[in-house]
Amino acid sequence: MDPATLTLSAMAQQLHAGSLQPTTLVDACLARVAARDERLHCMTQVFADEARVRARALEADTPGGPLWGIPWVAKDILATRLGRTTCGSRMLEHFRSPYDATVVQRLEEAGAILLGKSNMDEFGMGSSTENSAFGDSRNPWDPERVPGGSSGGSAAAVAADYCGFALGTDTGGSIRQPAAFCGVVGLKPTYGRVSRYGQVAFASSLDQIGPITKCVEDAALVLQAVAGHDPRDSTSLREAVPQWGTELESVPAAPAAVRVGVPRNFVQHGVEAAVRADFAHVLDTLRAAGASIVDVEIPHARYAIAAYYIIATAEASSNLARYDGVRYTRREDASDLGELYARTRTLGFGREVKRRILLGTFVLSSGYYDAYYLRAQKVRTLLRGDFDAAFAKCDILAMPTSPTPPFRLGERTQDPLQMYLSDVFTVPANLAGLPAASIPTAVVDGLPLGVQIYAPALEESRLLHAAAWLQGLLGFERLTHRGRA
């Protein structure tokens, strides 16, 4: 069996047993990249030589923890000293970070092997990876379709067995939606659970880094390795990091009386038939396994997309002001400072990024600030209250991850509003700071679908247990290996 197709947990088992060597595993993963990436274009860079050197160095030592010797892929928004950190943008095409992001450093210390960096929508803005300055990524299940976004390269790389796991970032769904589109697991932790130091900022009050993996147990292992307080990120939480990996070894076969909340009104509109049917099947499966399905209301969820696209663009317009042609790498010739700014930004940013900067500048401008930005912040507070009330009646919430199956390349690029609607079920978690995960449910017409679970803040344990349980009930692991072959 090709070791690249194993889950992270299975790779780790074999590495520790000595039946698999890090160098063999790295070579197997690189062979997958070589065979598939010309077509799929998930990667912006591959560090083949460096990965082999590191695998050899590890091999000379004794195996460490569960990530020891595991090849992984970083979304190209995470600062790495190795290679460039492009954010999918011409603006940073040649940018070399002088330091590693905290997550990169922690994975390095855990013995994981950085294989390369994955393609993404420019600065994380998009839901299809069609907004990358370096070309579109494709879905391994059907290369005519998008892998989702903005961490589309990361999700596709995991689905195509380039690596044991990938990291993505999620500002409004960018881990969960591509995970659903590619038939893999994606988890966005509680805001502040994982250090954002070295993650290039898109919308700082929403951004979180999280794992994209082939199964729930793998997500627990990666999250455990990267989570925890970091003095270099003032928003990172001081809460202790549970042993999620070990906890999942004892997932109860049927957790006693789980109450699964379903925001019915919210999930009724604009959901395609295949997704609706699949979601109904998931609820039936849960019910049959002993869970009780509870109707809950999230009344302000209907404003979530609007609030998100105000807050995220406002914060982006401020964060991206630093790309002025003076600092970082891109600088166009100009005769004065105004022209330098204008020319650098005109040539350095793509269309969607420009659109967001314009929107964000508008909603923050005097006269409009109260009408848009302030109101969006109020929606955010109301939404948090909705979730608090809902979690008084249930343990977890369930809803589809995306209202549609993976769509075709080009299908939505001309209609930004249509693209923004992909995020309807994912952005509420970011606005409220809650942990949420997408897990694969089924393959319908050759395309994977996903279901999403939300848990209260800091309840990643509950989220992972529920996800592992549901994964077992749905038996998706067998399907992925058939479909992705």
Instruction: Report the C-alpha gap between 188 and 172 in whole angstroms.
Output: 10
Q: Which residue is nearest to ligand GLN (CB)?
A: 174
Shorter beta-carbon distance to ligand GLN: residue 11 or 87:
87
Interacting stretch for ligand GLN, rule CB under 6 A, among 15-23, 64-72, 125-133, 403-411?
125-133
315 is a site residue for ligand GLN (CB under 6 A) = no
> Which residue in 86, 171, 195, 344 binds ligand GLN (CB under 6 A)?
171
Contact segment (CB under 6 A) with ligand GLN among 119-127, 266-274, 408-416, 469-477 equals 119-127
Please report how close the Cβ of residue 390 comes to ligand GLN at its closest, in angstroms: 22
Count of chain residues binding ligand GLN (CB under 6 A): 13
Instruction: Report in angstroms the alpha-carbon separations of 180 from 149, 151, 174, 190, 408.
Output: 10, 11, 10, 19, 15
Nearer to ligand GLN, 122 or 460 (CB): 122
Q: How far is the CB of 120 from ligand GLN (least distance, A)?
A: 8
Residue closer to ligand GLN by CB (options 294, 421) is 421
Contact range with ligand GLN by CB under 6 A, out of 124-132, 193-201, 331-339, 438-446? 124-132
90-105 per-residue burial string, b: 16 or more CB within 10 A, e: under 16: bbbbebebeebbbbbb
Q: Does 395 bind ligand GLN (CB under 6 A)?
A: no
Per-residue x/- mask for ligand GLN, residues 24 to 63, rule CB under 6 A? Answer: ----------------------------------------
CA dist 144 and 411 (Å) reads 11
* By the rule CB under 6 A, 170 interacts with ligand GLN: yes
Kindly tell me which residue out of 37, 423, 459, 460 binds ligand GLN, with binding defined by CB under 6 A. 423
In SS3 terms, the chain reads as CCHHHCCHHHHHHHHHHCCCCHHHHHHHHHHHHHHHHHHHCCEEEECHHHHHHHHHHHHCCCCCCCCCCCEEEEECCECCCCCCCCCCCHHHCCCCCCCCCHHHHHHHHCCCEEEEEECCCHHHCCCCCCCCCCCCCCECCECCECCCCCCHHHHHHHHCCCCCEEEEEECCCCCHHHHHHHCCEEEECCCCCECCCCECCCCCCCCEEEEEECCHHHHHHHHHHHECCCCCCCCCCCCCCCCHHHHHHHCCCCCCCCEEEECHHHHHCCCCHHHHHHHHHHHHHHHHCCCEEEECCCHHHHHHHHHHHHHHHHHHHHHHHHCCCCCCCCCCCCCCHHHHHHHHHHHHCCHHHHHHHHHHHHHHCCCCCHHHHHHHHHHHHHHHHHHHHHHCCCCEEEEECCCCCCCECCCCCCCHHHHHHCCCCCHHHHHHCCCEEEEEEEEECCEEEEEEEECCCCCHHHHHHHHHHHHHHHCHHHHHHHHCC
Cβ 419 to ligand GLN, closest distance in Å?
7
| Positive/negative CA dihedral, 348, 359, 369, 310 | negative
Q: Is 119 in the site for ligand GLN (CB under 6 A)?
A: no
- Binding of ligand GLN by 173 (CB under 6 A): yes
Residue of 124, 360, 428, 440 that binds ligand GLN (CB under 6 A): 124
Q: How many CB atoms lie within 10 A of CB 340?
A: 17
Q: Kindly state the smallest distance separating residue 195's Cβ from ligand GLN, in Å.
A: 17
* 172/450 with CB nearer ligand GLN: 172
The least CB distance from residue 57 to ligand GLN, in Å, is 34
Comparing CB distances to ligand GLN, the nearer of 173 and 448 is 173
Q: Does 150 bind ligand GLN (CB under 6 A)?
A: yes
Closest to 237 measured CA to CA, from 191, 168, 205, 188:
191
Among 125, 182, 225, 449, binds ligand GLN (CB under 6 A): 125
- Asked if 452 touches ligand GLN (CB under 6 A), the answer is no
Stretch of residues binding ligand GLN (CB under 6 A), selected from 171-179, 223-231, 408-416, 460-468: 171-179
Nearer to ligand GLN, 373 or 476 (CB): 373
Which range binds ligand GLN by CB under 6 A, 40-48, 172-180, 190-198, 291-299?
Answer: 172-180
Q: Please report whether residue 172 would count as binding ligand GLN according to CB under 6 A.
A: yes
Stretch that binds ligand GLN, among 120-128, 294-302, 330-338, 438-446 (CB under 6 A): 120-128
> Which residue type does 281 have?
H
**Residue bearing tokens 């109450």:** 259
Report in angstroms how near the CB of residue 177 gets to ligand GLN at its nearest: 7
* Pairwise CA distance, residues 357 & 183, whole Å: 32
Whichever of 146 and 443 has its CB closer to ligand GLN, that residue is: 146
Nearer to ligand GLN, 174 or 404 (CB): 174
Binding segment (CB under 6 A) for ligand GLN, from list 167-175, 236-244, 399-407, 439-447? 167-175
Site residues (CB under 6 A) for ligand GLN, limited to 202-221:
202
Instruction: Indicate which residues carry an active-site annotation.
Output: 75, 150, 174
Question: Which residues contact ligand GLN by CB under 6 A?
Answer: 124-127, 150, 170-174, 202, 312, 423
